[in-house]
Amino acid sequence: MRALIACLMLCAAAASAFAADPEGDVALWVGCARSGETLLENRADAPMNPASTMKLVTAFAALDTLGPDYRWKSSLRSDAPLTGGVLQGDLWWVGEGDPAFDVAALDALLDGLRLRGIRAVSGELLLDRSAFARIAGADGFERDAQRVFTVAPDTHLVGHKVAWLHFYNDGAGARAALVPALPGVTLKASLSDAGETGGACGDVRRFVSITSEGDTLSVSGELPRACDGASRFVNLLSAPAFAAQAFAARWARLDGQGAAFGGERPAPAGARVLAEHLSPPLSQVLVSTNFHSNNTMARAVYLTLGRAHPHGAGKVAGAEAALRASLARHGVDTRTLVLENGAGFSRRERVSARALGQLLSAAWLAPFAPEFVASVPAAGRDGTLEKRLAAWGPRLRLKTGTLDGVSALAGYWLAPDGEPLVLVAIANGDGVSAARIDAVVDAALRQVHAAP
């Protein structure tokens, strides 16, 4: 009874808050997680742009289809003999789209090669990119093409193909260095010493210009002494080119010889595995994905669903089919669901508040509930919710969603009596903001907290 009263108080609070905030196109669904009972709805069946709360949909389908312990494999393979430490032929790097693959993972892969006694490769390095037949798009973000959040997934994505410019001005002259070193990238630095200017450096881009064109990175400006040790990320090259150059740089650090990049080609069926690296488990990948609302990682997980579909072969259509099949198995209504890349990084993706609420209720009862709930940020503590709704603490777990004209929150509130509630609030339209959605949730929860 106390839980029901709490649910009803939440309904009243939310209704009051939204009545006081009529601007924008708002959809709301509130229910009890265990029963799925609808307690409050407002435009709950309207197709809405959910922004990054769509990542919850992909996370649900991935845990259901692949399992929490699923891991991506990256391997080095060859069908050539090994003679005197020299691989007498080509070396294939077979990627599966590991969302967490970085330079440290590449080093581990190359260490495995050296442990086999391989010091040189007489043939070429070839990338097998067959795991993903096509990359799901994200139309409408062309002006943000150089931003990290727009980086597309790839079978051979190394550290999101982000390099870091490190700046130094310690009395030995103003200078810059690129990390990781990419042998095919030319760094042109024209920096002068601005001396002691007073104050902190802050964003180094206040003092230097950073531009890239093809394989040339140009840096110019006057660097203050306060910017010694400053850094800035840069998004360079295509994913295959970045991977090949990162491989060359790290192989050279191990005094490895040969393995010049030869392009892309599927590995022979009989190629043996020489070294292999496993990603963290899916459950851990989803924590990083949802806490930090990482578009690239979510899109990689989505495409991986396509590989799991009988007719998917890593295709976007296979990913969508696998996701829809997962939701259907759990009774989630998919009639309003429109997918582009599974990350909510989209102008086209749609879902209703009711459908998202049904999914959250189904997740609470699923065998993978602990892993799913753990991937949803806790208020005032985790990721994109670290500085939002902090007064409510970890009892409130919500995935955020933000785009121009979109603000959304979706997740769980664990009432003081232990009753889990599902809350989905999505606002579409001019003038919507995170602050407005936060105020609605805050007002509702204050009423729930005061329930007898």
- At what angle are helices 2-19 and 434-449 packed, to 10 degrees? 150
Strands 82-83 and 120-128: unpaired
pLDDT at 451: 47
d(CA 359, CA 390): 25
Helix (H) or strand (E) holding 276: strand 272-278
- Strand bridging mode 216-224 / 231-235: unpaired
DSSP state of 26: E
- What tens-digit pLDDT sequence spans the chain (452 residues)? 455 555 555 555 545 544 444 444 789 998 999 999 988 888 999 999 999 999 999 999 999 999 999 999 999 999 999 999 999 999 999 999 999 999 999 999 999 999 999 999 999 999 999 998 766 556 655 554 556 668 889 999 999 998 999 999 998 899 999 998 899 899 999 999 988 877 889 999 999 999 988 889 999 999 999 999 999 989 888 999 999 999 999 999 999 999 999 999 999 999 999 999 999 999 999 999 999 999 999 999 999 998 887 765 567 889 999 999 999 999 999 999 999 999 999 999 999 999 999 999 999 999 999 999 999 999 999 999 999 999 899 999 999 999 999 999 999 999 888 899 999 999 999 889 999 888 877 876 776 665 43
Compute the distance between CA of residue 429 and CA of residue 436 in angstroms, rounded to an integer: 12
Q: Is 251 helix (H, G, I), strand (E, B) or coil?
A: helix
In this structure, are residues 105 and 74 in contact, taking their beta carbons and an 8 Å threshold? Answer: yes
Nearest-10 Cα torsion for 330, 335, 339, 345 = -90
Map out the domains of the chain with their CATH numbers.
2-69+281-449 (3.40.710.10), 73-139+150-156+240-278 (3.50.80.20), 158-235 (no CATH)
Whole-number pLDDT of residue 6: 54
Q: Over the Cα atoms of the chain, what is R_g? A: 25
